[in-house]
Structure formats: structure tokens, C-alpha cells
Amino acid sequence: MAFGHTSNVKAENDNRFHLEGLVVAKQLSLVPLASPFRIERLDGPVQDCNRLLDLGVTPGEEVVVTHTAPLGDPLVIRIRGASLALRKREAGWIWVV
Amino acid sequence: MSCHPPDTEAPGPSTIDLKDQNVCLVGMPNAGKTTLMNALTGGNFKTANYPGVTVSLLRGRTKPEFGASRNLIDLPGVHSVVAPSPEEELAVQVIEGKHAKVKPDAFVLVVDATQLERHLKFAGMVARQKKPTVVALTMMDLLPRTRLVVDPARLAETLGVPVIPVDPRTGKGMEDLIGELDLVTRGTSVPYKSNALAELPREPVAAFMQVRNLLRQSGSVMHSNEADSVTAKIDSIVLHRYLGFPVFFLVLVSLFAAIFWAAAPFMDLVSSGFAMVGNLVTSISPDSVFVRFLAEGVIGGVSAVAVFFPQIMILFFLMTLLEDSGYLARGATLVDRPLSFLGLHGRSFVPMLSGFACAIPAVFAARSIPARRERLLTIWILPLMSCSARLPVYSLLLAALLPAAALTAGLSLAAIYISSLLVGALVAGLAARVFLKYRTPSLLAMELPAYRVPRMWPILKMTWARGSSYLQRAAVPIMIVSAVLWLVSNFGTTPERFIASTPKDQSFAAQVGHKMEPALHPMGVDWRVGVGLISAFAAREVFVSSMAIVFHIENTDDDEQIKKSLLEQMQTAKFPGTDQLIFTPSSITGLIVFFFFSLQCFSTVAVVRKEMNSWRLAGFQLLFYTGLGYALAVITVQSLRAFGIA
């Protein structure tokens, strides 16, 4: 759960990290608003992740976090032309690059 | 082909009788199914319930100008077939032909043109059934707001199903849709080369990939992931960090204002109308017991339900309006954090809000909560929301408690309302952790639909369909309970014989009241109040009128007059044979506490039983809240007295 955060600051403006396979995945709950990311994988409870897949949250898709609710949770994401409200906890299962 | 005489026409596909065929409208939520339903039926639809399921479907018949009259069934929208909600489960059962009662002959697949990928992926499941299917492409009018391009004719070729662009809001494309449906049902349409939609993989990732390929082939441009410009603008305010909650509270306050103030004149109209009918019936033969039973027991009972009808219609109307405009999902997003902490769901705010009008429509409104656990918990706390049937009771009791302080009474009433919400939150939080072993919330993943200007006519039709369904379901139990309560409070036995129309203090209800005296004394009241409390199980506001009866208030035409003379009676009422006053500050406070918690509404119990399909749950809820109310009332009265407040 808690791996993968250490080097995401370093990745900024560093060309090597934009190569396939070298980019460090981040959790969707931690990415800045309004910037597009690509989904790398889902990592969470099987049933919930299967429902997310079925809703169109699939690896390879572009996703944007468009809003944060005033209390900080849930987030509103944009995917496949739809807006979905996701709790931070759920967004944390979505790893993006 | 040789020509043949018309009367010996060979049985072929063209002889299929389209009349009475079941045509199911299927699609994802917010695709515009209900608006389409409205356009195809001319607003002539109603909600239909099926035994064993709590989900109600909309049923109607196609308008006469669309040829053979067919049954139209609007199935609940399906987001996903994984971990489905009860509504989704029912829709999937019907689509797959596994439902015992609803057998579809053909499908109208409603597809949102602005979200083709997700909607076509769902469409694959429907196309797989190999039933006659036509795609109705909605939201075409939203395309100019976005950068998307869709070509329906090429899309049809690529997918292998007819695609008809429709605008159910203006009625455009309806003839084409029905015409195409006739062709595919009769099997006389020109077959497509492709069968791509029916051959979509079941596995979601592969299916989405395939859908994208098909869309590319059909020349559709789907590169944009931006919300349409109008939706983006409204969301930037509605979901704004500082403006979001003020807007939300404004919406809530307007809702409350409409439910309580705008409904008031209509409620007065209904209650005086029923009073008139009651008097008319009584005047036929004032001495006949049966006529009195009819006037007081039956008509009075109907009146007790009907008086809330204007309020509930306004509630349904505004809720449908908010739902259709797209705001409801945003409101649910705003409050999801505190509610999910309590074990509820963002959407629970709708039933909770409805609960301030009446628990019964609130229980129905809980259906929109996908997970059973969150729905159960929402329904569990609904009886605590201060429903409007409590209002006459509180206003009587507060007037008795604070006779010369209208302002304090008003503030106390406001405090009661707010406390009911806070106590509801507390009970939910505790029940989630104690009974439901709540650790983590179930998946939210709630779609926020694009904003649309709601259309009045379909909303009014929908309001009527929901409202009349409510009346049908609530009226019968309330009528029965009210009739039975009238009988037990007007009939009784004396040692010699069974007497009809006995004096109030010898009726069955009074006997029960007397038997209950040991339990009532700790609450600081006598058997007469006990009779009021029992009769309030028909509907809480009946407490006022039955108190008027047991305290011998005549002149029952004018509500204000009743209240005034009842208040005078209450100020002097003493325990029989003593000088001890019944209605003291402590006993009145105790009664308020009792009404705050107690589930004194058999109709709610009946509806919860049906909704959760469990007598045990409904019974437990009744005992829990009524027991809690009694215990807390006793504690309140006794501790107030211990502190020297009589």
C-alpha cells in the first residue's frame, strides 16, 4: 500500500521518468487537480475494482480529477466522458502515471 | 415470387402481432429513459410493483398514433452488473429473460450520445440477448456543447443495430423509433452486415477496447474528456470549496419552505374538505353507530393520510426536479463525507430530508442507495426525523408547556427539529458500529450527470405516478388501523353485556389504558393520555383529536377551537380522585421526549416490512424506538422531578 511515493517529486522535469516502465505510478487520490493522467492499474478490493472496471475505469484510460468536494472528500473525476464522484479511499486504489 | 390471395397469407414474420408486446426501455441511469417513456406513452404511465421485489417499474402503453398498442416497461438504469443494487439486479434479470413476471419481446436501448463508450459497452449485454433491439440515441442536443461528433447512420452500420436519434423532450424521432421497432420486431428490416454489438466481449477491459475500435470505424469523434461547457460552469460553483455548502443549504431551505409553508393552504383545504364530507355523512343519521363509524373511523382515517398528500406531492415534485436537473448527485457528493462516517451514503440525505415530511416516502426514497447495508441503516434512522405528523402534537404540547411564551415555544420547536437530525446521526453512527460491524463504506462511484433544464410536463407526470402510488400503499393500512382504533375506543364491555357506543371511559381502549396505568404513572400521566398514545399509532397527529375525545371536548369542527378548549382542559386535568395535576412541566416534557423517539406509526412499520422484506426488522425497529422513547420519557420525568421540577 505505502510504496511508490518516495520518488514522485524527483520525477518532475526528468526525461528518464517519462519513458515507459520507468514512470513511478501515483495514487489518484494524491495527484493535482485538472491534470490528465493515464491509469496504470487498479489495486484494491476485488469486487469494488471489478465494478470500477465495469464503469469504465480501465488501465490505459485517461483520467482527470476535476473537483474536490468542499470537505476534501469525495473527489470528482472525469473518465470516458463521464463525471464520477469517488471517495479518496477509492481513488487510492487507482494508480496513475 | 408469385402473388397469392390475401386471405391465404403464409404465416411469416410479418404476421407477428405487435399488440400487447412487452417493449422494455433499457439503458444506463441518466440516459433519458423516463423522458422517452413519457414521450412514447404521452405521459400515460404508472408505477407497478411486483411481489418479492421492492423495486417499482414504470409501465405504460404506447400512444395510439404509434400504431399497435404495446406495453412499455421502463427498467431501472444499470451502471454495472458487478455487485448490482436491487434496482440494477431487477433490470438485469428482466434483460436476461430470467424474471418470472416481466418477459421482454423487444428492447429500446437508450444510449447517451455524449457518453457512447460507456453506454455501448452496456448495450453489448442487451444485444447479446438476440431480441429485437433498436438503439434510441438521446442527448444529441448536448453535442454542440462539447467537441464530440456522432454519425447515427454509420454507427448503425458498424454496430449492426438500428440507431435512431431521438429527442424525447421535443418528441423528435418518435415515429422513426416506433417504425424501426416495427420493422425489427417483424423481422422485415434490412439485415446489417455486422453483428458487432452482440459480439462484444463480456470482459470489461476488452469490451471497452472493442467499443472504441467500433466508434473509430463509425467515424465518431470521442476524443474529448471534458465536461460540456454548461455543466463545467455550474459545477465550478456548486462544488466550489466555499460556495458549495451555501448553495446546498439554500436548496435545502427552499425545499423546507416549500414543504411546510407552500403546502399549508392546500393541507387546510384537504382537511376542511374531509371535515365537510364527514359532517355530511353524520347528518344523514347522527345517532346511527354505523354512520358515526363511517364518518369518524373511516373518513377520519382517510383524512389523516390525505392531509399530508399536498405536502408529499410537493416533496416528490421538488425531488424529481432536483434529480432531473442533475443537482441531487452533487448534493450527495457534498455531504458524503460526514454521512459515510456515520455508516450512511451520500444519497442518504434525500430520504432523510423527505423524512421531515413523512417517513413513508422517505423509505421509498432510500431505494436510490445502492448498497443494502447503507440502505438498511438509512431506513433505520428515518423514524427519528421529525415528520410533519408530529408537528400538531408538538405544537399542542409546547403550548401547554410554555403558555405565554410563543417565541420560546418556536425556538423549542426548532431545537426539536435540529435535535432529531443530530440524534439520527448519533443512532446511525452507533448502530453502524454496534450492529453492522461497520468498518469501511461500500463503493461510492456515483455518476454526476450533465445538467439539463428540467421539462415540467414529464416531471409532473412522474410526480403524479409516485404520489398516487404512495396514496395507494399508505392509505389502506392507515384506514384499517384508524377504523380498528375507532372501534376499540367506541366499543367496550361492561360486566353485564357488550355495549355499543359506550362512554369513553369504559371502552376497550380505556380498559387497555387502565391496564397500562402502572406503566403510564412513571411517565407522569394517566390512562386518558394512554388512550391518546395508543390511538397515535394510526398517525401521530391523531393524538390531538383523541385527547380531545377523552377529555370530552365537544364542538369538533374547528381545529383551533379544539386546541384551545383542550389546552384549558389540560391545565386543570387531575388524576382521578386526587388534586394532582396531570400536565405538569415534567410530564409534558416527558411526552415530547416520547414522541421524539417513539415509532408511533403503523404505516411506517408496514412500509419498512415490505421494503426490507423482513417482519423481524420492522418489528425490531418498532420495539426499539417505542421502548427507547418510553425509557427516555420515564428518565426525563423522574429526573426532572428529582430536581424539583413538578
Measure CB to CB from residue A71 to each of B81, B226, B337 and give the nearest one.
B337
Contacts A82 to B, Cβ<8 Å = 115, 118, 447
In chain B, the number of structural domains is 3
In terms of DSSP bridges, do strands B133-138 and B163-165 run parallel, antiparallel, or are they unpaired? parallel
User: Using 50, 70 and 90 to split pLDDT, how confident is the model at A20?
Assistant: low
Say how far residue B400 (Cα) sits from the centre of its chain: 34
The range of the structural domain enclosing residue B635 comes to 467-642
Rounded Cα distance, B236 and B245, in Å: 13
Identify whether residues B116 and B33 lie together within a single domain.
Answer: yes
Identify whether residues B103 and B25 lie together within a single domain.
Answer: yes
- Domains in chain A: boundaries: 25-96
Residue B494 pLDDT: 61
| C-alpha cell of residue B119 | 453506454
- Beta carbons of A54 and B118 less than 8 Å apart: no
User: What is the least distance, in Å, from the CA of A7 to any CA of chain B?
Assistant: 28
Residue B287 pLDDT: 75
Rounded Cα distance, B399 and B397, in Å: 5
Bridge-partner residues for B574, per DSSP? B581
Q: What is the mean pLDDT of each run of 10 residues along chain B (646 residues)?
A: 44 62 92 88 76 69 87 90 84 90 92 92 93 93 85 92 91 91 86 88 93 90 76 93 94 87 87 87 81 81 79 87 90 94 92 89 85 90 93 90 85 93 95 84 89 86 82 73 77 57 67 87 89 84 80 63 80 84 93 96 86 90 96 96 88
Residue B16 pLDDT: 67
Identify whether residues B252 and B373 lie together within a single domain.
Answer: yes
Identify whether residues B187 and B43 lie together within a single domain.
Answer: yes
- Which amino acid is it at B583? F
Identify whether residues B449 and B522 lie together within a single domain.
Answer: no
Residue from B337, B374, B451, B452 to probe the interface with A (highest A Cβ count within 10 Å)? B337
Contacts A61 to B, Cβ<8 Å = 208
Which is more confidently placed, B301 or A91?
A91
Measure CB to CB from residue A55 to each of B79, B226, B329 and give the nearest one.
B79
- Which amino acid is it at B436? L
- Beta carbons of B225 and A81 less than 8 Å apart: yes
At B23 the three-state DSSP class reads strand
Residue B50 pLDDT: 58
Residue A6 pLDDT: 39
Nearest Cα residue in chain B from A82:
B115
**pLDDT tens per residue across span A37-58:** 999 999 999 999 999 999 999 9
Say yes or no: ipTM exceeds 0.85.
no
Residue B555 pLDDT: 52
Q: Of B162, B194, B224, which marks where a domain is finished?
A: B224
Identify whether residues B318 and B193 lie together within a single domain.
Answer: no
Identify whether residues B184 and B271 lie together within a single domain.
Answer: no
Residue B160 contacts by C-beta under 8 Å, 6 or more apart in sequence? B127, B192, B193, B194, B195, B196, B197, B198
Rounded Cα distance, B373 and B36, in Å: 32
Q: What is the CATH number of the domain that holds B120?
A: 3.40.50.300
Residue B162 contacts by C-beta under 8 Å, 6 or more apart in sequence? B134, B135, B156, B180, B183, B184, B189
Identify whether residues B277 and B211 lie together within a single domain.
Answer: no
Tell which residue, B549, B450, B542, B462, has the closest CA to residue B505. B549
- Asked whether residue B417 is assigned to any structural domain, the reply reads no
Measure CB to CB from residue B445 to each of A70, A72, A90 and give the nearest one.
A90
Q: Please provide the DSSP assignment of B57-80 as one string.
A: EEEEE--GGGSS--EEEEPPP-S-
Buried b (16+ CB within 10 A) or exposed e, B162-201: bbbbbbbbeeebbeebbebbbebbbeebeeeebebbbebe
Residue B3 pLDDT: 46
Bridge-partner residues for B167, per DSSP? B172
User: What is the least distance, in Å, from the CA of B416 to any CA of chain A?
Assistant: 27
At B381 the three-state DSSP class reads helix
CATH topology (fold) of A25-96: SH3 type barrels. (2.30.30)
**pLDDT tens per residue across span A26-37:** 999 999 999 999
Residue from A51, A53, A93 to probe the interface with B (highest B Cβ count within 10 Å)? A51
Measure CB to CB from residue B225 to each of A62, A67, A76 and give the nearest one.
A62
